[in-house]
Amino acid sequence: MGVAGVQFKVDGVNLGAEDTTSPYSFAWNTTTASNGSHALTAVARDAAGNTTTSATVTVTVNNGATVVNVSTEPQLQSAIQQLASDTTIVLAPGTYVLTNTLAINGTFTNITITGGTNNSNDVVVQGRGMNNASYGTVPNGVSTAGSVQNITISNLTIRDVYLYSILFDVGTQSPRVSNVHLIDAGQQFLRSTADPSGKGADNGIVEDSTIEYTATSRDANTNGVDIIGGANWIVRRNTFRNIVGPAGVLAGPAVLAVNGSSNTLTERNTFLNCARGIAYGIWDPPGMFDHTGGIIRNNFFYRSSTQPGDVGIGVTDSPNTQVLNNTVIVSGTYPSAIEYRFAGTTGVVITNNLLDGSISARDAATGTVSNNLTTATASMFVNASAGDLHLVSSATAAIDHGVTLTNVTSDVDGQSRPSGAAYDIGADEYVGDTTPPTVSLTAPANGATVSGTATVSATASDDVGVAGVQFKLDGVNLESEDTSSPYSATWNSTTASNGSHTLTAVARDAAGNTTTSTAVTVTVSNIDATPPTVSVTGPANGSTVSATVSVTATASDNVSVAGVQFTLDGANLGTEDTASPYSTTWDTTTASNGSHTLTAVARDAAGNTTTSAPVTVTVSNTAPDTTPPTVSMTAPASGATVSSSVTVSATASDNVGVVGVQFLLDGTAVGAEDTSSPYSIAWNTATASNGVHTLAARARDATGNSTTSSPVTVTVSNTGGTPSTQPLLQQSSLTYLGSFRVPAGTLGSTYGFNAAGTGGLGTYAMTFNPARNSLFLGGHPYEQRVAELAIPSSLTGTPTATALQNLIDPLEGRLSSINPSDPNSKVIGSALVYNNQLFIGAFSYYDGAATQTKSEFVRPVNLSTTGQVVGPVKIGANYPGWVDKYASLIPAEWQASFGGPALAGGTLGAINSLQSWGPSATVFDPANVTTMSNVPGTLVLGYPYGHPLADTAIGNQYLSQADFITGMVFPTGTRSVLFFGKHGLGNYCYGTGGASGGDCYDPDDNSKGIHSYPYRSQIWAYDANDLIAVKNGQKQSYDVVPYAVWQLDAAFVDIQGVAYDSAAQRLYVSRVYADNTRPLINVYQVVVP
């Protein structure tokens, strides 16, 4: 399992902190012990908590060094002024406000300045403020110059100096800084300078310290540890926090080694919200390397997304540097997590690093980059925002995915690598922690009586570390979890009832192990004289009520509300409600019509009560509606013989109002309930057997009263088989009758019908509504709305249609639900009226990732009805682009052969490999859209990517890649299925169009995309028998070719959509941009041969 740590002891007392990294050692300042005999032992511990104590070693302390104990700032200054080699100055706990920098200038060896305890915060050496230019004789905290060898600064805090917290000036060698806390320096916190030849301090150590800003730094001339011209420095186990500049200013790196420095080792540090982390070299000086060699390993670097900054680790003009097993999270604040720069940077090795940014080689730098993970996320770590980048068990992309490195034998915590099958990537080697913490309550005492505000405290420990302690009162959280020792919570006992209560503490470690302390029982004894507050929240004051209503109130108390009693005219209304939310049900029919007063009386456990302000309401009850509607069938006539598709209609009335009429066939509902007059459905008699059937209508009012009409008896008589010999339509079968305009206003929208049907973003929706002799038509592409227009009774003079319903979003904001992963380019495509419901198809225009899975919605034809949109659902087995752009009803006489009442289709789009390259048709039953998430569909026509019919030849009469099909019609009494759209006749070309200067010659379209100029409006005519053959498995969908194609009209090219009135045999074609910026509706008569 491995050794977790070794704790050294002198005379049975811990000597420093446990050492968790082999080789195990501790620097013992023997001047803290008396001269004479002392016993040394070492206690080894493994991860399971097993320990062993070594044999005792007896030593004799005989210090020749001078120990000077000081407790005041004058004593400290005197000790510095009288300093001699081999002297230790020990500072008693307290704050030392400097009158002079602690300047050690001269020839000295073996100097120590240390706090008298192991807690660096017990001794504070304080300057005059990092922003105080009147620093006088205190520019720095501690400085050395001359020839100072082996100086140690430890166990203290240095803060608020104008320049440097610690300055190792020319002539200083082998300095050591250990367990210090450096706060708010005006420039570098620790600076080591060089002489004119470039020689700086060598063999320096900075360890186990915290360096941070608690306020905004003065300017950019700041960083943490600044090594100039020094060799063999070690920077380890430190925390660097908030090393940043003022807004808009980039601070220096937290660790910087430059100007010929070499062989720096930076390991096991944590950098939290620093502008830059570690920099070996920072520029490309002439004639020398800015840094040489060195290792950067096992460091944590985290910067939040709100803190601007630069690279986490930088290697600049520093050959043969190794960057190994670091975790760097820059949260998108800079593209690169690690960078190496300049041609002098050669032989760099960057391996096993866990990053959320790239590794960048700049300005001709070279090296070996291998086995790094650059896609780290915060979820991989225990608490990234707090700088805790230890791996969690779900970080499987990093765990056991590293490679073995001879220069990395342990991790950021000193744990041996590997702990699993292989090294982990990043600074942490994940080891599952199953040992729970220990915890015990320390206050208040068990059995104590408390009142007012009391402090609840606990002690907790863990083999790895306590993450937090949650206090609980009677099993309920008391304040938030305390995440730092000492653990405590403030309890306002007046919020609890008088009497016995139980306190516990739950300790948690980073692995999620928890322990609940032994409970402590206390007695709360407070005098509660504060009454609750209460107010009635419903019904509203002055309102009129009837039937059954809910009476509600809110109440609160300094301790707790025991209950709320509602009253009506001073008398209790129901029983007291003892749990929030407070309410009671009032049957107003038990009160007289007229004015009444409601109040609420709140009570606390001490018996204090408060009555709310009264609420006056008027009771107005009328006799319930028990009168059912009347209803009678109006078509078809009783005794009639019917075939194909017929209209079933009824009239209905009610003393209050009819909610809906449901038609019945042989007692079973047929079609959806019709909720608006006139009441009717289209009945496809082919779905019923030949013979006698009964039709009836059931009317319903708002209170649920219903009446079923007298039945009508009809005889269904449909001829069997496919009407395969019906005529085929030709170009001469369409006779132009005239045209009409769409309204010019905005119709409740922003743009109205301007630019309707233009560009790749539609909207193409267009369909005929037989119930009102009207068209549903889509508006401007920016809005994706639909309106209903009444068809003019005469086409003389190109009249303007009247809006029956304004432009409204028919999907009520649900368009994006067809493809939530695509934030843009979602468009309304097909529209179809079937059984008094409006069906809408929608598509992702540019779905490069092919993430759209659904397309079809259904809603009432009354666009003002809200909350009844169903969908989206999927039709058929293909990608939705095959069914979402146009739709048509199948004539009744063909429905049995096709196996359904409707066709849906779609052609091409921005991603041409996803859908049909020519007309496509899929048979489906719209009724299934309301009940199924995957509606069955049978493909009977379509040309998948690469089919042989479509090519790029000039003038291909059938298909080109530039075709844009927007409508489909299946006229009754024929076997022709017609498709309408724009067809390209010229060369295929992809690129930017235009008359000149573009990639493709296309004066009609200068956008980037597919071009095939010139174009024409075209009809593709297919024989229904061919589609039936595909349905029956006798042909493939791409084997079918049109029996004819022809130009619809030379006057226009672009078609928004097509609608068909089967009763009048009329076609309605929406011409894009034909009436200024609005479409014009052309009307054609279908002449069946």
CATH class for the domain made up of 731-1086: mainly beta
564 close to 577: Cβ distance less than 8 angstroms:
yes
pLDDT tens figures, 81-138:
999 999 999 999 999 999 999 999 999 999 999 999 999 999 999 999 999 999 999 9
* Cα gap 487→661, rounded to integer Å: 70
Give percent above pLDDT 90 in the chain.
Answer: 66
CATH class for the domain made up of 3-61: mainly beta
Fill in the DSSP letter of residue 729: P
Q: Phi, psi (5° rounding) for residue 494?
A: -70, -15
- Lowest average pLDDT, out of 171-180, 387-396, 466-475, 1043-1052, goes to 1043-1052
Q: What is the per-residue pLDDT for 907?
A: 83
* Total Cβ atoms within 10 A of residue 979: 27
* Candidate CATH numbers 3.40.640.10, 1.10.150.20, 3.40.50.10740, 2.60.40.10; the one for domain 630-716: 2.60.40.10
Q: What is the per-residue pLDDT for 951?
A: 46
Q: What is the per-residue pLDDT for 826?
A: 83
698 close to 664: Cβ distance less than 8 angstroms:
yes
CA neighbours within 13 Å on the CB side: how many for 120? 19
pLDDT tens figures, 906-940:
887 656 667 787 899 999 999 999 888 999 999 99
Q: Is the confidence at residue 846, as pLDDT, over 80?
A: no
- Residue 168 confidence class, pLDDT cut points 50, 70, 90: very high
Greatest mean pLDDT among 260-274, 815-829, 1000-1014: 260-274
Asked, as a colleague might, if the bond just before 763 is cis with ω within 30 of 0, I would say yes
Q: Is the confidence at residue 613, as pLDDT, over 80?
A: yes
Q: What is the per-residue pLDDT for 405?
A: 97
* Cα gap 756→667, rounded to integer Å: 45
Q: Is the confidence at residue 958, as pLDDT, over 80?
A: no
Residue type, 1040: V
CB within 8 Å of 970: residues ≥ 6 apart: 888, 889, 890, 891, 894, 903, 976, 977, 978, 1024, 1060
What mean pLDDT comes out for the span 660-664? 95
Residue of 1068, 1061, 473 lying closest to 769 (CA atoms): 1061
Verdict on whether the full-model pTM lies above 0.85: no
Instruction: Please report, for the chain, the start and end positions of each structural domain, with discontinuous segments joined by +.
Output: 3-61, 438-524, 533-619, 630-716, 731-1086
Fill in the DSSP letter of residue 384: G
pLDDT tens figures, 697-754:
999 998 889 999 999 999 888 764 556 788 999 999 999 999 999 999 899 888 888 8
What mean pLDDT comes out for the span 946-963? 59
750 close to 675: Cβ distance less than 8 angstroms:
no
pLDDT tens figures, 414-424:
999 999 999 99
Superfamily of domain 438-524: Immunoglobulins (2.60.40.10)
Superfamily of domain 533-619: Immunoglobulins (2.60.40.10)
On the question of a common fold for 3-61 and 731-1086, the answer reads no
Q: Is the confidence at residue 35, as pLDDT, over 80?
A: no
pLDDT tens figures, 301-319:
999 999 999 999 999 999 9
How high is the mean pLDDT of the chain? 90
- Lowest average pLDDT, out of 209-218, 347-356, 357-366, 838-847, goes to 838-847
pLDDT tens figures, 520-568:
999 998 887 789 999 999 999 999 999 899 999 999 998 889 999 999 9
Q: What is the per-residue pLDDT for 823?
A: 66
> Please, what's the b/e burial string for 153-189 (b: 16 or more CB within 10 A of its CB; e: otherwise)?
bbbbbbbbbbbbbbbbbbbbbbbbbbbbbbbbbbbbb
SS3 content of the chain, % helix, strand, coil (to 5): 5, 45, 50
Q: What is the per-residue pLDDT for 719?
A: 61
Top pLDDT among 411 and 995 is at 411
Continuous segment of H or E residues that includes residue 1027: helix 1024-1031
